[in-house]
Amino acid sequence: MEKEKYRSGDPIAWCPGCGNFGIINAVTKALEGLETAPEQVLLVSGIGQAAKLPHYVRANCFNGLHGRALPVAVAAKMANRKLTVIVTTGDGDCYGEGGNHFVHNIRRNVDITVLVHNNQIYGLTKGQASPTTDTGYVTPVQIGGVILEPFHALQVAITLGAAFVARSFSGEIDHLSDMIQKGVRHKGFSLVEVMQPCVSFNKKNTHQWYKDRIYKLSEEGDHDPQDKMAAYSKAAEWGDDIPIGVIYRRESETYGQKSGLSEKTPLAEKDIDKIDIGELIEAFRI
């Protein structure tokens, strides 16, 4: 399939130079590589610039409440196991408003892929500090500089035993596409965090800032993603050197296997023609 088949043709509302352009190119390239038909893909998002991505992809889409993309994605996957479910969410949407869902769906280990666009700022609402903004960074709201420690999402995910944890960069489309494909193919909760410059509201973490610091774990050669302590160490690297690649990976039972749902007919395949919900509706009638 050609990646153009996955583009919706809707006009894109991101700023010129936004890192999201690299991410959407990587997503469509990944879908092409996975040879997944558009009708077999569900993209789920909440609110934010990252949440607009499903609008521009030719596939099934659910755009919900701020921070609530994960519960929808999890429910959809359990109802229809044949779907490839990918969440596109921002650092504020996923780690801030949706932080509770982030933690507990790692524990559930449902077979979905979560793509976090981490631009270290709230871009849609004009530049407040997000949970990942560096300490000391000055914003229009935090005029004396951010006083809080950033949320270390990858370390948290590894600590909780996430099935797959990777980091990539929106300027490395082939690398990011490869990470997305690996995340989708890995059974269980897959987190792919993407370092994504916000050219309008984050003047520190620019395209060049990342290019000067990022290096690929695959070229280093000695990182074992199944070594939890080594993965934790790599996830903590930040500053002059920022590793990208598969940081942590482990095989573990999914929620469907643990709960027994994998052995039952999913909701999407049940014959519902003869089900009468009239009594249920009547029970809720005022």
pLDDT digits (tens, 9 = 90+) for 250-286: 999 999 999 999 999 999 998 888 888 888 889 988 7
Residue pLDDT, tens place only, 197-229: 999 999 999 999 999 999 999 998 789 999 999
Confidence of residue 9 (pLDDT cuts 50, 70, 90): confident
Pairwise CA distance, residues 192 & 203, whole Å: 24
Q: Rounded to a whole number, what is the distance in angstroms from the first to the last CA of the chain?
A: 51
Proportion of the chain above pLDDT 70, given as a percent: 99
Position 13 scores a pLDDT of: 93
User: What pTM did the predictor assign?
Assistant: 0.93
For residue 95, the model assigns a pLDDT of: 97
pLDDT given at position 45: 97
Whether the CB-CB separation of 53 and 2 falls below 8 Å is answered with no
Strands (E) located in the chain: 41-45, 60-63, 84-90, 113-118, 164-169, 190-195, 214-216, 242-249
Q: How far is 15 from 18, CA to CA, in rounded Å?
A: 5
**Predicted confidence (pLDDT) at residue 110 exceeds the cutoff of 90:** yes
What's the pLDDT at 89? Answer: 97
Asked if the model's pLDDT at residue 3 lies above 80, the reply is no
Residue from 84, 109, 87, 74 nearest 34 by CA: 84
Read off the pLDDT of each residue in 86-99 and give the average, rounded to a whole number: 97
Closest CA to 267 of 137, 74, 76, 42: 76
- The token pair that represents 155 in the structure block: 């370390």
Give the pLDDT of residue 285: 85
Q: Which residues does residue 164 pair with via DSSP β-bridges, in sequence order?
A: 190, 249
With a pLDDT cut of 90, the percent of the chain lying above it is: 88
pLDDT at 4 over 80: no
Per-residue pLDDT at 2: 57
3-class DSSP state for residue 150? coil
Mean per-residue pLDDT, 93-102: 96
**Which pLDDT belongs to residue 134?**
94
Helix (H, G, I), strand (E, B) or coil at 100: helix
Phi, psi of 244 (to 5 degrees): -125, 150
Task: Tell which wins on pLDDT, 285 or 231.
Answer: 231
pLDDT tier at 131, thresholds 50, 70, 90 = very high
Tens-place pLDDT, residues 19-39: 999 999 999 999 999 999 999
Per-residue pLDDT tens over the stretch 151-201: 999 999 999 999 999 999 999 999 999 999 999 999 999 999 999 999 999
Return the amino acid letter for 37: A
pLDDT number for residue 93: 96
Average pLDDT, the chain: 94
